[in-house]
Chain A
Amino acid sequence: MLFLLETVISGLMAGVMYSLVALGFVLIFKASGIFNFAQGVFALFAGLALYDFIATDGWFYDVFGFVLPVWLGIIATMGVMVIVAWLVEFLVLRHLVNQEPIILFMSTIGLAYFMEGLGDTLFGSDVKPLNIGLPSGAHDFLLDNYNFYVEKLEIVAAGVATVLVIVLGIFFQKTRIGRALRAVADDHQAALSVGISLRTIWVIVWSVSGFVALVAGIMWGSKSGIQFSLSLIALKALPVLILGGFTSVPGAIVGGLIIGVGEKVAEVYAGPYVGGAIENWFAYVLALAFLLVRPQGLFGEKIIERV
């Protein structure tokens, strides 16, 4: 029983990590109807930039001869992500207004590979252990008293994800900018007519998703170092989104948790019978099954079509 619980908990924690990436997708999709393939690369890029600001083997240190304290590094990285958001709007989105979603999607694939290459050129491709002083190792109290293994970092990640979801939920549902974001996603022309500026909204939404990417980058980076495989997490976020619904912030979280727990439990209990490695494909099969039953996802907006 304890073992099952441990499996579930570690699945939940892995799920939180997926959720963090999925959140970034949801934000951009909700506000602009674009599936941003580059979200995973955003997380990677944010992690790389942060590492560069605070570690002695980056070029920031080479140029200025000092490193930034962690908090300042995070703020500086956020600045970088806002600039990236602005550049994306200025160089890409602005010229693709009113284009088909598939064209916008293709442009984000281009963006993903460009940023991956840029990150490689700027920061090098070796794995970088990100250490910003988050607690690591097992939670001693639980381990000693209940023989129960949970990593401290994962508890922190869970806390951070919770706060993010609450803040983003309020922001999207209950504020002017949140409404404007959703309005832009629904109808560009109508949004313009009530005085919403598309450009401002796009910069805001890409910045917010840059912020979420930064959080994801920090968490993943602290857990397993900043490495280029981080950009592939984007693919794990896909089934999470299908499960939770592409337009739902809570959906991204719940979807992530279900996938995380599901694949861990499946791996541990069903794995031995089929030779293991269930973890690699379980999420996708689950998503496929879900598409058949409830295509809008658990929390997605109901698909409304007047005929």
Chain B
Amino acid sequence: MTFDRKIGDTILAVDQISLSFGGVKALSNISFSVNEHEVFAIIGPNGAGKSSMLNCINGFYHPQEGTITFKGNTRRQVRPSEAAREGIARTFQNIALFRGMSTLDNIMTGRNTKMNKGIFWQALRIGPAEKEEMENRAVVEKVISFLEIEAIRKTAVGTLPYGLQKRVELGRALAAEPDLLLLDEPMAGMNIEEKQDMCRFILDVNDEFGTTIVLIEHDMGVVMDISDRVVVLDYGKKLAEGTPDQVRANQAVIDAYLGVAHDDDV
């Protein structure tokens, strides 16, 4: 369904990234690159370092070695707010919404980096601040109708069912109109129907907005279906990278998933 998409040049290049917490090596010498408009999956067993990798990309973790190049801008460490301004948005493994706020307000926070009118205007919400608010509200309304969550616009997100919360979280990330969207287990804990919906939204986002997507997912069926390319991590090391078919046929990957003993296990 996505054959007519044009895969562009490299948008994100991860080069020799190493990250450790004290003595624990979470990532060692990881390199891969993601092309523009691609759906790229990071897979691997629990504790493989998948979430750590995402956290390095959006600036939550600061790797000790290596560089990350995003849109031609090379650096080792970045602050989360900078990453957001550069066009990286994300969702979380355990939903991280602003529970007390409505769906609308949650998604509006996604526009944070696009709004810059000063505090003096904001204090009264007059003049430029009012205009800015309306413009951004329009974008948010598009996201809401895209995700088909019009009905829960004013509902406090803490009261919503799990699947809808995940959708609102995706909405908040989309509202930033990101160039790179990081999804940390977007389908974890969902039932079949919710998973199908989420798959559809991810592919639609990729299709309609051309957003590059990097996602972590455990459901192999889903990953192999929707990804253009896959990187496999295990114990913080890269096992394989390639198209779903290549990865599926890779002996190291099969071993990792079927549980062959590691050298350092004994």
Binding site for B on A (CB under 8 A): 167, 170-171, 174-180, 182-183, 185-187, 189-197, 204, 247, 301-302, 304, 306
Contacts and interface: CB of A to CB of B under 8 A. Distances in A.
Contact of B84 (A171, A182, A195): A195
B81 A189 contact: no
Given A171-B122, A194-B109, A183 B98 contact: yes
Contact of B97 (A170, A187, A195, A197): A187
A177 B119 contact: yes
A31 B123 CA distance: 15
B125 interface: yes
Contact of A189 (B92, B99, B105, B113): B92
Nearest to A198: B81
Interface in B80-100: 80-81, 83-85, 89-90, 92, 96-100
A247 B159 CA distance: 18
B125 A180 contact: no
A193 B55 CA distance: 10
Interface in B103-120: 105, 108-113, 115, 117, 119
Nearest to A166: B124
Given A176-B112, A183-B98, A304-B100, A194 B92 contact: no
Given A187-B98, A195-B80, 7 more contacts: A170-B125, A179-B108, A185-B100, A186-B101, A193-B58, A193-B92, A302-B156
Given A180-B112, A304-B159, A192 B81 contact: yes
Interface centre among A177, A189, A191, A194 (most CB of B within 10 A): A194
Contacts of B108: 176, 179
Contact of B123 (A171, A182, A196): A171
B129 A193 contact: no
Given A167-B123, A193-B80, A204-B119, A179 B158 contact: no
Nearest to A197: B81
B166 interface: no
Contacts of A179: 101, 105, 108-109, 112
B124 A170 contact: yes
Interface residues of B, number: 39
B98 A186 contact: yes
A186 B100 contact: yes
B100 A195 contact: no
Contacts of B159: 304
B101 A194 contact: no
Contacts of B176: 194-195
Nearest to A190: B96
Query: Which label, helix, strand, loop or mixed, suits the secondary structure of the A interface?
Result: helix
A96 to B, nearest CB: 19
Contacts of B124: 167, 170-171
B43 to A, nearest CB: 22
Contact of A192 (B60, B100, B117): B60
Given A170-B125, A190-B92, A193-B80, A176 B100 contact: no
A284 B117 CA distance: 43
Contacts of A187: 96-99
Contacts of B123: 167, 171, 175
A304 B156 contact: yes
Contacts of B96: 187, 189-190, 193
A301 B100 contact: yes
21 contacts: A167-B123, A171-B122, A174-B125, A175-B133, A176-B108, A176-B111, A176-B117, A176-B129, A176-B132, A180-B109, A182-B100, A183-B101, A185-B100, A186-B101, A187-B99, A192-B80, A193-B96, A195-B112, A195-B113, A304-B100, A306-B158
B98 A190 contact: yes
A175 B81 CA distance: 19
B229 interface: no
Contacts of B92: 189-190, 193
A195 B115 CA distance: 11
B172 interface: yes
Q: Which of B101, B133, B159, B176 has the most CB of A within 10 A?
A: B101
